[in-house]
Amino acid sequence: MSDRSDSPPPALDPNTLALLTQFIGEKTAQQQRFDALTEAAAAEDAPTKYPSVDEYRATFAEDWQLSQFWYTTPFAERFAQLLHGLCDENTSIAFLCCPTAWVAFQHLKPLDNAKLLEVDGRFGVLAPRNYIRYDMEEPLAIPEHLTNSVDIAVVDPPFLNEYTNEHIVTTLRKIMRPNAKLIVLTSTSVESILQRLYDTPPLGPLRRTKVEVLHGQLRNDFGCWANWEGSEELKC
């Protein structure tokens, strides 16, 4: 055994160290922003204030285990405009598994009945009354008041497979009104699954719209489908 007490301690390469320091700095800043939001939301009778999409993206790190890949800010903002064009102040609109779309929509003009159904509880700090914890593994475990109540459902299924879409379809059938509008944003790789599972009213048949879905960190080819006549022409 050699005596190593004289050897210098192992050192990181300066470039790696700089990257690590930057990463830790970003994580700390993100956590501080999140803590500030939590504190503001906890203050009694604080008005609900939705962050801009840029603020949101800087505060809520993507968790890739949960398949979180946020839309770009320009896309989320254009999509929010498009959705508001389909709503009036009484519209009940549900965002399933698409928090960026919900934040962009509510930041532009908040509606009382714009709900986010999502498994990630972090979003509850933004608007506790508009966030509904939803796990697609338990597709019918949602508050009873949502049954047959939704005029517009917007969904970005978390995983690109039949199993996930079957569960999402079960939830949609429970919450959508008979003539409700449905918008699905997902990968083109599951188009045949969509055509099969979302085939009858109120869910479908689905038509591919002209909306081009853009993400910051995801290069999959995405599309946007909707269920009403004329929706083929939707774009933003």
Ligand X SMILES: C[S@@+](CC[C@H](N)C(=O)[O-])C[C@H]1O[C@@H](n2cnc3c(N)ncnc32)[C@H](O)[C@@H]1O
Q: Report the amino acid identity of residue 79.
A: F
- Of 73, 156, 194, 236, the residue at the interface with ligand X (CB under 6 A) is 156
Among 38-46, 77-85, 117-125, 204-212, which window interacts with ligand X (CB under 6 A)? Answer: 117-125
How many residues touch ligand X under the rule CB under 6 A: the total is 20
Query: Is residue 234 near ligand X by the rule CB under 6 A?
Result: no
Applying CB under 6 A, among 39, 137, 166, 232 the residue interacting with ligand X is 137
**How many residues are recorded in the chain?**
236
d(CA 89, CA 73): 24
Between residues 168 and 203, which has the closer beta carbon with respect to ligand X?
168
The site map against ligand X for 204-233 (x = CB under 6 A) is: ------------------------------
**Gap between the Cα atoms of 212 and 223, Å rounded:** 6
Between helices 99-108 and 73-84, what is the axis angle to 10°? 60
Minimum CB distance to ligand X smaller for 35 or for 137:
137
> Do the beta carbons of residue 70 and residue 103 sit within 8 Å?
no
Residue 100 interacts with ligand X (CB under 6 A): yes or no: yes
97: left (phi over 0), alpha (psi -120 to 50) or beta: left
Q: Is 120 in the site for ligand X (CB under 6 A)?
A: yes
CA triple 105-191-214, angle to 5 deg: 40
Binding of ligand X by 98 (CB under 6 A): yes
Q: Check residue 135 for interaction with ligand X (CB under 6 A).
A: yes
Residues 183, 173: Cα–Cα separation, whole Å: 14
Q: Judged by CB under 6 A, does residue 71 bind ligand X?
A: yes
Q: Which is nearer to ligand X, 59 or 100 (CB)?
A: 100
Closest approach, Cβ 181 to ligand X, in A, equals 18
**What is the C-alpha to C-alpha distance for residues 70 and 62, in angstroms, rounded to an integer?**
7
Instruction: Using the minimum distance from each CB to ligand X, give the nearer residue, 11 or 77.
Output: 77
Candidates 126, 131, 130; CA nearest to 51 is 126
Question: Residue 159 Cβ, how far from ligand X at the closest point, in Å?
Answer: 7
CB 210 within 8 A of CB 232: yes
Neighbours of 14 (CB within 10 A): 8
- Restricting to residues 31-70, which ones interact with ligand X according to CB under 6 A? 66-70
Shortest approach of ligand X to residue 198 CB, angstroms? 17
**Residue numbers of the site for ligand X (CB under 6 A)?**
66-71, 97-101, 118-120, 134-137, 156, 158
